[in-house]
A = this chain, B = another copy of it.
Amino acid sequence: MNQENSMGIGVLSERTGCKVGTIRYYEQIGLLPDPPRSEGGHRIYSLEHLKRLTFIRRGRELGFTLDEIRTLLGLVDGGSYTCGEVKALTLEHLQEIHKKITDLKRLEESLTAIAAECEGGAASKCPIVDALFKSR
């Protein structure tokens, strides 16, 4: 591992912020290609792997599922992807995020309203508990 463009799994992990176990998991599910091995069986990664794993991590940070990332990588690997295809996937994903935000906001609102009823004292009759026993 003395060349600068080749590294073990620990270094790849550090450079991408992706845990060792997770890297092996990505390999197992076919997201990261099987790297060559040393004589003893240790994985040896190249800069290509680093690039690809960075893509995956960044995609995860942006909330894409592994399946969406797989699709995205498939397009990139094909070489003939278009900007339109990628943008469509992204916009679809943005909609999902937006829906989640809306749902959570509604949740926050309901719960805030319920909690506001409650004085939080030592009383053993609580409006929050009452609310939970009632269906909408």
Measured CB to CB, the nearest residue on chain B to A122 is: B82
Each complex incorporates copies of this chain amounting to: 2
Task: Pick from A4-12, A21-29, A37-45, A107-115 the stretch touching chain B.
Answer: A107-115
> Which range contains the number of A residues in contact with the other chain?
35 or more
Interface of A is mostly: helix
> Knowing that A82-B124, A83-B124 are A-B contacts, what are 11 other residue pairs whose CB atoms are under 8 Å apart, sorted by A's residue number?
A51-B133, A54-B133, A72-B132, A82-B123, A83-B120, A83-B121, A87-B126, A90-B111, A97-B104, A98-B108, A101-B108
| A interface residue numbers (CB < 8 A to B) | 16-17, 51, 54-55, 57-59, 61-63, 72, 76, 79-84, 86-88, 90-91, 93-94, 97-98, 100-101, 104-105, 107-108, 110-112, 114-115, 118-129, 131-136
